[in-house]
Amino acid sequence: MNTVAVVHEYHAGHPSGLWRWITTTNHKDIGTLYLCFSLLMFFVGGAFAMLIRAELWTPGMQLMDPEFFNEMTALHGLVMIFGAIMPAFVGLANWMIPMMVGAPDMALPRMNNWSFWILPFAFILLLSTLFMPGGAAGAGWTMYPPLFLQSGVAMPFQVFAIHLMGISSVMGGINIIATILNLRAPGMSLMKMPMFVWSWLITAYLLIAVMPVLAGAVTMMLMDKYFGTSFFNAAGGGDPVLYQHVFWFFGHPEVYIMILPAFGIISEIIPTFSRKPLFGYTSMVFAIASIAFLSFIVWAHHMFTVGMPLAADLFFMFTTMLIAVPTGVKVFNWVATMWRGALSFETPMLFAVAFVFLFTIGGFSGVMLALVPADWQYHQTYFVVAHFHYVLVTGSAFAIMGAVYYWLPKWTGHMYNETLAKWHFWLSVISVNVLYFPMHFLGLAGMPRRIPDYPVQFTDLNQIVSVGGFVFGASQLLFVACIILCVRGGKKAEARAWDGAHGLEWTLPSPAPYHSFAEPPAPNLIWTHPYQGS
Amino acid sequence: MNTPLPPRVRHHKLAAGLLLLSVFMFGFGFAMVPLYNALCRLTGLNGCGVESVAAAYAGEVDYTRTVPVQFAATTGSRRPFEFRPEVGSLRVYPGELYAANYNAADRSSTRIRAQAVVSYAPASAAHCVHKTECFCFMQENFAPGEVRHLPVKFYLDPSLPRDVQVVTVAYTYYKVSGNGIPAERSD
């Protein structure tokens, strides 16, 4: 096979050490920064979760006062969503999209540097609220008024941190769209793009459309508190329920921002290890697009209990249930891709198969929650916690872990330790179910979310959940060990690290050279899906 | 740095368009406020838009049915502020004018300015509660320890849907802050 153009290792005068990382405009460096940052935040948010599970080990108050418990649930959510999952996906986009579309770098490399380096400051600002008088804001990641308005000095700092995260995401989104639309190699039409690229193109549009709405919502809250407006203040004629509408207009597309790139990853991994092309490529593209469209008209299913008119309840119930259709298309297509494939179960495939199983469980509990009369029982209970952890942990986080194992050989030039990685997988997949599955039962039995104490009859299930939580948390240290060992050495990886893999990134040597596709790849290198025609 | 780059593609137009989209969406967040209020006025949700002083009713009184109207009272802050209706509920003929009184007492040692906000249940009845006089139309000043009688005069519109079994009128008293008025003054 034709090897790829000119390979530069390093330039003369290229800065080294810390300065290199601060000033870098290279998409691979920035991708690495994003991924390392998100791993760090995964452990910070994980530590908060461990404190939550420790407090819930037995009824009564053990380790912390209730205010601190609320701060933990709020920060756990914010850190995991904006600090771990989203930056991990942006990091994967940075690393992989230019290589997958045959571009030399991201379209706007300097802005790329800026979008990353805003993030550490945003999170220093957010986490510093823990040490402020009165502590961090304990109003949940959703920051509902009036509770959020009653937080002390932490509130404006948290709002500014959210602004910074929003600016970072919007810049990242603009960059990704510009890269995909403007820098594709000649011959790569939109319908020849890898699914990961497709999923990110649509996700980036969602980011640009909804992150500013969140910024607007928290800005209005800031104005209510400090400038005497009454957007959400009932005393001044405002309405706290309005905040929920604005927030979830952002919030529901946001949950798809956190799952669509995962769909893309799974659509890369499963065909590779099934040694078959992705089943129904075109329907996969349209499924992602229709999920993205529907995400804008279903937001109020998060607030069925606020007392909306029946017509609104019905509208949001039916549109929500409609989402199960394109999602079902995707799940069936993945299964059909595996059907009669020459399957092998390396770690990325294990994570992908676990994703298909466990994400679907989360999808089903989502359909249950979409039913208005049933939701009135489930609302604000652990059933909801179980639902969104199934889609976010065994969904998004598992897809990210699968992606890391899948592309680590390309990044480092070494194969990871398969035995250790399988230990990581099996410990994770067992403990994560011990952790989240009993939460369904707790929720159905009536245990509310976001409380530090509970009646004694919930003790046994809570202890099972906590054990699952501690084991899952500890298992992630194996993940770090796998990554560090793989960076430092291991079996040499070939250019095409997986024999079933297709796509431009696998035509580059492993590790991928610092500058790749300085000249566009030859059109015959672009892999054409057999069902697509050429 | 002299990396051999392909002929430069201009990204400015696309990037500027996308930036404009994000600015537009920031504005859209704020535009949801008047949109929401218009929607509430249209549907009578949360008692929005039905807060004006009603003219006295001149039409027929519907003596064929009575509807129970319940009165509820809550306070929106942790102040030692007592607030309750004189009568918990009334059976009313739709179309006839009734008076109901609330009592409020501020048990704290500072002056307070407060405003009551009303809401109705069920939402389908919200359009049909008309008040010719209500303490909720204005802010009230309370001296420390002051007790007030707060009158409401209202009638139900005879167009009230027949499937409405009971109408609840709930008031919440809030301490007024913001709008440049100090929340509590100790003068």
Give tens-digit pLDDT for A284-303.
999 999 999 999 999 999 99
A434 contacts: CB under 8 Å, gap ≥ 6: A464, A465, A467, A468, A471, A472
What CA–CA distance (Å, rounded) separates A128 from A158?
A: 9
Q: What is the C-alpha radius of gyration for chain A, rounded to an integer number of angstroms?
A: 23
Least confident of A153-167, A268-282, B87-101: B87-101
H-run or E-run covering A288: helix A281-294
Q: Angle B175-B176-B181 (CA atoms, 0-180°, nearest 5)?
A: 140
Of all residues in chain A, what percent carry a pLDDT higher than 90? 87
Chain B residues within 8 A of A13 when measuring between CB atoms: 1
B63 found inside a domain = yes
Closest chain A residue to B175, measured at CA: A235
Q: How confident is the model at residue A126 (pLDDT cuts 50, 70, 90)?
A: very high
Closest CA to A532 of A188, A200, A196: A188
Q: Is B52 on the interface with A (CB under 8 A)?
A: no
B103 found inside a domain = yes
| One domain, residues B95 and B163 | yes
Closest chain A residue to B44, measured at CA: A309
ipTM of this predicted structure: 0.88
Cβ of B27 and A216 within 8 Å? yes
| One domain, residues B27 and B109 | no
Chain B residues within 8 A of A147 when measuring between CB atoms: none
What CA–CA distance (Å, rounded) separates A108 from A97?
A: 13
Chain A residues within 8 A of B115 when measuring between CB atoms: 235-236
| One domain, residues B67 and B137 | yes
- C-alpha separations of A89 from A83, A94, B80 in Å: 11, 9, 51
Closest chain B residue to A246, measured at CA: B29
| One domain, residues B97 and B151 | yes
B4 found inside a domain = no
| One domain, residues B71 and B23 | no
Closest CB to B26: pick one of A178, A212, A224: A212
B48 found inside a domain = no
Closest CB to B26: pick one of A14, A178, A216: A216
| One domain, residues B110 and B89 | yes
Chain A residues within 8 A of B180 when measuring between CB atoms: 228
Amino acid letter, A463: Q
pTM reported for the whole predicted model:
0.85
- Residue window 92-121, chain A: list those with CB within 8 Å of chain B: 104, 107-108
A33-532, which class in CATH? mainly alpha
Q: How confident is the model at residue B8 (pLDDT cuts 50, 70, 90)?
A: low
| One domain, residues B32 and B65 | no
Cβ of B26 and A215 within 8 Å? yes
| One domain, residues B32 and B61 | no
What amino acid positions of A are annotated as catalytic residues? 76, 105, 141, 168-169, 252, 254, 256, 267, 301-302, 327, 330, 449
Cβ of B3 and A307 within 8 Å? no
Cβ of B14 and A181 within 8 Å? yes
Chain A residues within 8 A of B43 when measuring between CB atoms: 309
Q: Is B164 on the interface with A (CB under 8 A)?
A: no
Chain B residues within 8 A of A172 when measuring between CB atoms: none
- C-alpha separations of A174 from A121, A184, A509, B22 in Å: 21, 15, 29, 10
Amino acid letter, A425: F
Closest CA to A120 of A164, A75, A71, A90: A164
What CA–CA distance (Å, rounded) separates A503 from A506?
A: 6
Task: Show the domain range for B147.
Answer: 53-175
Closest chain A residue to B51, measured at CA: A237
Between B80 and A24, name the one with better pLDDT.
A24
Between B75 and A391, name the one with better pLDDT.
A391
pLDDT of residue B184: 39
Domain ranges of chain A: 33-532
- Contact in structure between A434 and A468 (CB atoms under 8 Å): yes
- Contact in structure between A529 and A277 (CB atoms under 8 Å): yes
Q: Name the phi and psi angles at B154, rounded to 5.
A: -150, 160
Q: Does residue A327 carry a pLDDT above 60? A: yes
Q: Does residue A476 carry a pLDDT above 50? A: yes
- Residue window 165-194, chain A: list those with CB within 8 Å of chain B: 170, 173-174, 177-178, 181-183
A274-298 CB burial, b ≥16 within 10 A, e <16: bebbbbbbeebbebbbbbbebbeeb
A335 contacts: CB under 8 Å, gap ≥ 6: A356
Q: Is A413 on the interface with B (CB under 8 A)?
A: no
- Residue window 197-216, chain A: list those with CB within 8 Å of chain B: 208-216
| Mutation choice for B interface testing from A6, A11, A149, A246 by most B CBs within 10 A | A246
| Mutation choice for A interface testing from B26, B137, B184 by most A CBs within 10 A | B26
Joined tokens for residue A403: 């992606």
Task: Quote the number of domains for chain B.
Answer: 2
- Contact in structure between A269 and A403 (CB atoms under 8 Å): yes
Give tens-digit pLDDT for A32-91.
999 999 999 999 999 999 999 999 999 999 899 999 999 999 999 999 999 999 999 999
- Contact in structure between A448 and A380 (CB atoms under 8 Å): yes
Give tens-digit pLDDT for A221-277.
999 999 988 899 877 778 889 999 999 999 999 999 999 999 999 999 999 999 999
Q: Is A492 on the interface with B (CB under 8 A)?
A: no
Read off the CATH number of the domain in which B66 is found: 2.60.370.10
Mean pLDDT of A306-332: 93
Closest chain B residue to A228, measured at CA: B178
Q: How confident is the model at residue A1 (pLDDT cuts 50, 70, 90)?
A: very low
Chain A residues within 8 A of B27 when measuring between CB atoms: 216
| One domain, residues B133 and B107 | yes
Chain A residues within 8 A of B32 when measuring between CB atoms: 242, 245-246, 249
B108 found inside a domain = yes
Closest CB to A217: pick one of B29, B121, B176: B29
Cβ of B3 and A220 within 8 Å? no
Amino acid letter, A41: M
Cβ of B117 and A234 within 8 Å? yes
What does the H/E/C string look like for A231-258? CCCHHHCCCHHHHHHHHHHHHHHHHHHC
Cβ of B29 and A213 within 8 Å? yes
What CA–CA distance (Å, rounded) separates A81 from A392?
A: 9
| One domain, residues B17 and B69 | no
| One domain, residues B68 and B121 | yes
Q: Is B7 on the interface with A (CB under 8 A)?
A: no
DSSP code, position B67? E
Cβ of A235 and B29 within 8 Å? no
B1 found inside a domain = no
Chain A residues within 8 A of B119 when measuring between CB atoms: none
Q: Does residue A8 carry a pLDDT above 60? A: no
